[in-house]
Structure 1
Amino acid sequence: MPDFLDANLRSQLQTAQIHNSIRHIQLFLVSILIIFLYVYCVYQFNFSHFSLYFNIWFLLTELFVGSFWILTTTRFKFKQYTISQAHHWVQFLCLGIGILIATGISLIYYYLPQVNPSFEPVHALTLSALMLIVTQTLALTFLTQRLDYFCLIFIPSIVPYFISQFILTDQINQLFHLTVNFVLIVILLCANSTVRIHKRLSALYLRNGQLIKNAEQQVLRTEELCDQLQNEMNKSKEIELQLQQNNQQLEQKIQERTFDIEQMNRNLENQQQNLDLAHEIAGLKPWDWNIKERHISVSNYQQQKKLKHSKEHSIQLQNIIHPDDLLCFKTALKQHLRAETDRYEATYRVQQSNGDWTWVHDIGRVIERNPSNKKPLRMVGIQRDIHQERTDQERLKLVASVLEQAAEGIFILDKHLNYVNVNPFYEKITGFDKGQCLGQHLFALTSNHKSAQQQNHQAILEQLARTGEYDGELTEKFSTGKELTFWLHINAIQDEHNRVINYIGIVSDLTERKLQEQRLSYLENYDTLTDLPNRFYYNYQLHQYLVSHQDSIQQLAVIRLNIDRFRPLNEYLSNNGGDELLRQVAQRLRLTNTDALFLAHLNGDDFAIVYEISHIRPSIQQHCERIQDAFAEPFEIFGQDHIITVSMGISFYPEHGRQLDYLNNCAEQALTEAKRLGGHTMKYYSSDNTALLEQGIYLERDLRQAIRNDELVVYYQPKIDFKDQHVYGFEALVRWNHPTKGIIPPALFIPMAEKTSLISDIGRIVIRKTAKQISYWNSIGFKNICVSVNVVAQQLQRGQLLSDLDEAIATYQISGESLELEITESSLIENSKTVKILLDQIKQRHINIALDDFGTGYSSLAYLADFPIDILKIDRAFIANIGDGKQDAIISAMVAMGKAMGLTVVAEGIETEQQLCYLEKLQCDIAQGYLFSKPLSEKNATEYLQLHKLIPS
């Protein structure tokens, strides 16, 4: 490329080459289609032989070249494509055409002579040479704008010939190869020359185009200069006219200025009057000292001038100026008269006519000096009364001193709640310097990233905007890292128009008080001996886990730990030794149970540990074994080693209960069992409802739901009179008709109900349903049926049993003789006096009372004598062993004792004829058991009653 081409011209040249190549390649593609069609037709007409690969090549070639032509024509319209896209597209076409040409030459040269005997090698040479030379000539014609385009066609096309020179070496082929090689070299040289010519022509064309554009720009510039020259001439004429106008205006301005000067003189007179008025209002006394003539003109506050001699005025000043200020006054005046200071300024006290001292501020300046020796000739000044200002300044200093020395944080805000001033104590408690505070918003110093804190700040701002006052306790973390609990009081300061102009805040540090509260809280919640939580805090924290963390904590284990034989050891070690042992036990427990939720010292030698149960944590068994292993090491107490063992009782939440007291009771019961076994062991709490719990039924929750849904039903087991074999009555037995599990026997839910208030609810339901059933039986003709209902100790002690009985009797209109209450011996142990009063009240309602399970509990004849018992019920455990001599003797004694005391004797659990005959011989009164019937539903009990009014002997 010529050296005179610059970078811009090079870019334009490349663009022009690509544009020309896009335009020419369309003609080249059409020419290629014609050449390939011509070669195919020549072969088909002269050598009509079917050739599969040659036909495929022809079809694919025509298809691809035609597609290339269509895409080039439609996609690459003028100025509708980018240069980069066009360049890559032309490269792709050239390479593709070259490959197609090479493929065709290979097929003609190598393939066709093999499949067509009539197509001789010389024909192959001729036809392939035709294709090669013509296609390269067309490429030389259309694609020599850039040499790389031509080479992408030329190089693939000559590959078959190049390879054939090494394969076919006969004489004819050698001559042909020499000829073709020469032709190809000539074509390549021509292509190179053509490319260079095209580049030069294009460059010259672009250069000429630039020269033409430059010439046109020069012509335009010349025309613009001519226009500018004409404009300058026009402006010169306008300036001449403007000068004439300005002369006229100047004369007018002089007249106007003369008038303005006169007006200014009048204004100066008015200003002098205003100045005098301002001096009078501001309390200023101007003075004018003519030093040369030694007299001074002094004006009073009413601007009345008085002329005095300098010496007279000096003597008067020395008499009225305070002695402590006189030296300062003289020094300041001398320094200025000697030109040592720029102006005279002094503050001193003068004595009034009434004897009071008043502060004045005196300011003056020498306005005229002798040019030769610089001695002052004239001096003027103003004296101002500053007594009120001085008093206010003293008060402000006092307030500032209070602000600086105050032991509470004080800050001042503007009306936008930005800091205006803070005292040192506020800087101390926040950790910010005064400079860091000023200009900042009230809460800009805090790390208010939490939403709750932001809401609190917003509430404070709203209250200030609403009431102008805030008073409350805050806990804030400042950006300095300090966290502070303080009491904040803010008041709004208003002007005479009741507009808020400032806010004043007082901050009282509550850190020490909070520390005192923490110390009190520690003393309240922690054991001072072991530094562990005490019983109060333990119960509170366990309750929090049970109530507040139900979603996050699914299972808990409560371990109650007790030191074995601590009392004798404590007596041996003395009190101090016992305390030291407890401290070491607490420390060892603390180190052993680092992953426990809670560790507490309840009292004496009693400790509690709470663990969360999880599949990713060790089991409770492993925790307890680790504790026992830790206690295998001796404790050193006052130089002596002591081996200590511990007993542990464990209960689980929610398996053993969901209430705090019940979990603790279960753990205590397990601990008692461990102590009963001799200590140095662990025991898990177990209950009768374990099987049901293992089936995944949460009895307490489901039982409460069952009571609400009326799922409890009453079954009735017949009781037979030995004398007349009639049905004497029934025993009411509760059953749970679970919606999914069917009938659940009472042995699975009654024990759990007895540990909660549910047993009273169940008893109330049984009494009501039994009374309803008795009423029904009475209505169908069975008037003398007596039904017994079991009553537990909780019902006797809660005080609702009488009201439940009265309500049932009144609602269903039955008599008291139709009801019979069965009470166990254990119910009579506690509060026996209260229970006796209650039983007497029940007897007043003609309700029979039976002592159930006699002989299995804390049997005492005193119960039979002291309490109003009507019926004695022998437990099934004795009846089942009839035939054993000792058991027979016990049963015989029970029946005889009941008969002797006038009681009705009932034998329950009769299952065989032998048992029935034996009891009949003993003249037992009532029989009950599976020999007669199992417990029946309401419907079945009615049917039984109708069918078995009389049992044959």
Structure 2
Amino acid sequence: MVHHQKDYIQQHLNSAQITNTLRHSRYFLISILIICLYIFCVYLLHYQPTELYFNVWFVGTEIMVSLCWLINTLYFKPGQYHLRTAHRWLNTQCLLIGACIAIGIYTIYIYLPSVNAQFTAIQALTLSALLLIVTQAFGLTFLTQKPSYFCLVFLPCLIPFFFSQIFENNDNLFLGLSLNFAVLVILFCASSSYRIHKRTSRLYAENSLLVSDAKQQVAWTDELCQQLQQEVNKSKDIEMQLQLNNQLLEQKVRERTYDIHQMNHDLQNQNQNLELAHEIAGIRPWDWNIKDRVITLTNHMHEKVSRDSKDHHAQLHDIIHPDDVDYFKSNMKQHLRGQAERYEATYRIQQTKGVWSWVHDIGRVISRDPKTNKPLRMVGIRRDIQNERTSQERLKLAASVLEQAAEGIFILNEDLLYIDTNPFFEQLSGFEREQIIGKHLFDITANYKSQQRSTHSNIIKQVMKIGSFDGEINEKFLSGKEMALWLHINAITDDEGRVTHYIGIVSDLTERKHQEQRLSYLENYDTLTDLPNRFYYNYQLHQYLVTQKDSIKQMAVIRINIDRFRPLNEYLSHNGGDELLRQVAQRLRITNAEALFVAHLNGDDFAILYEISHIRPSVQEHCDRISKAFSQPFNVLGQDYVITLSMGIAFYPDHGRQLDYLNNCAEQALAEAKALGGNTIRFYSSENTALLEQGIFIERDLRKAIKNNELVVYYQPKIHITNQHIYGFEALVRWQHPEKGIIPPGMFIPLAEQTSLISEIGRLVIRETAKQIRQWNDEGFRDICVSVNIVAQQLRRGQLLDDLDQAIESTGISGKSLELEITESSLVENSDSVMNLLNEIKERHINISLDDFGTGYSSLSYLADFPIDILKIDRSFVSKIGDKKQEAIVSAMVAMGKAMGMTVVAEGIETVEQLEYLRELKCDIAQGFLFSKPLPIKEASEYLAQTKLNLSYSYQV
């Protein structure tokens, strides 16, 4: 007996736990839907657009939770499932929900801050903690009937946080400790809740056993009483015979009593059946004694409760939705006044704060005062129809989605016959719905070709075999429409796994195909010239080198560049330059009909792949033909322009068999052609490689030299021609190589100008010059002005002002002590930005000198427009003094500088005759080996001390 009771209690506990969890998990799933939607809306409100993985998580979670809710509601109906199946399903459902929440916490806490800089760590922690705390709070509420259900939801959610503590650099130790403590608290709460539920269910089972035992004892007592009565009847047989009439009467009374007892028992059974039916249908009966103002109703625990009708009406007024109160009162009044046969109303009541549920209320007056016809008693029922309303709304929504979907959707029966389509599928196929219904899947498409029939047959076989198909097809409908489609078909099965329908989704790929073609063109061709771009050129050259070695024995890689395109492009403006490039590309296309490939790499760079063969002209002849074709002028914006080309040529396989090496060889040949002034053709030679390697080694050593402070500054004196006092110095950089000694600037400055090293060298010279000026000022030489050479790269990089300010502020020298020598070529590019930069330099009282005047563009507008203080005549003109033509040029330069109020400096003076001639022209400053070569710091300081700024200078040869 004891074991029987324990088994019964255990079975009851297991059944109660599973049944209650199934019922409560629906509310848990709805809670998960709401909190995920809330978090997604919060993030979407502050950060738009949202991240792809965050959207995928949200949509996937909503779909997964909705499917779980539907399965709980539709499949696991009360009394229609096995406990073992329900237990397995609940474990699976809890694990899925826990995984979704864990992915959401990982996405919010770890992924979003890494892709969205505005989404801070504290915001990520807040949203992820909200998701964890709220979901686990609902888990504690609804999933603690069994510990396994709660743990399957709870434990996966902790993985992202523990992952961040172990593998991420977590600076907040207290956050980890707090999280771990919170985990223990939640597990303790879950355990406590489980024990409470288990104890309650056990008490309920034990009470049921006690009731059953009590009924059994009553039955046994009745049975003993009957036996005792029979013994009494036997002992009084004689008396019963004497009192037959009395006995007959008593027998009739007993029979009647038994009949009444049996009727009462039947009524009790019927009442229990009715209560069960009410519970299953969600019906709660109520009885309103209007005369006594008392209403009896059934609460959510299926217990009858009596209330004062006034209090009940006040409570109804509080829980009924404000929009439904008048409707409820109106229907009730109409029936009470006899204007309606019965009372019937559908309205919303508040289950919890902010949560409304639809109910259907029906009632009727069963007793009225015969004189006044006033109602005396009214009965009715109230039924919860929230699930029905939700299902109806979902069905309406699904129908709306089917009608408004931007993809073709159709439904087939098990024989692949159309039974329904949406409007977009009608639009795709060109048929009306009535023309499609009842036909087979491919009856509305053309099946004339064997390939189409084979494709259709394979699709049908796959669908019938595995229940799905997903792929791209090219279809022609009998309506005449032909397009590329993406077809997805999936089977729908019933509860027993039998296929009942097929759902098909069709997407039109026409626009996507057009976009792919457009993207392919944009990826491989230059939109300006319609020639292949650098990417396609490299790809095609690689194909020739790798896959067609046997067919192409020799090939030339020709690199072409337009001479002096940059100034011409600035003159023509943007539109004119583009038009010139289009015409150049067209002429190259026409003159290279025999070439393998013609490409526009970028800017004014073009490339040609030419196969070398005895049946074709030689490479030299082909390039000469291109040059001859370009001797004809180009008409751009109504004017004719003649341009020339520089060409560099490398040969396969002579100069290399790899793509990069061949391109480098052709570029080196092109660079040599450009260095020769352009309008020429150069073939690659091994000497170019040697020069390139030498440049690479020099660049490598130069970077080390800057890092190791091997660069030193020399100073060449500048002398006033009139009194031969020292005006100042020119700072010149030298490379003190630890092994090779002093390396002249001509060996490394040109290479540095091709890289960013020249800016670093210029910054070093400015810094060291300022320090030396500070030292000379401290020694008493306060009127010294030292000039520093500035290149175009320093003007363009935008760091020159910062370098000057830092040098002046760190040393405390005056800006008047510095002079910047800028070449004419530096003023050509970005003249507006250069003008603004020079004006800001002048604000710092720094002098600006135009270096190498006469060797560049020699535009007089530079002298007039730019804030130039000093005009420096190049040594190439000074060295030719004695030649009448050269003297005339020097004289004009000095006169022009004087007329414009500038100080004139002549550099490269090596003879007394040159000095005397410049003195006659009243040139201001002289510089050259006649006075001194560039001196290191120590010798420059000694030179300055010897002259004392006031002593006349003795000539030095």
Bigger-Rg structure (1/2)? 1
* TM-score interval, smaller chain: 0.3 to 0.5
TM-score (structure 1 length as normaliser): 0.38
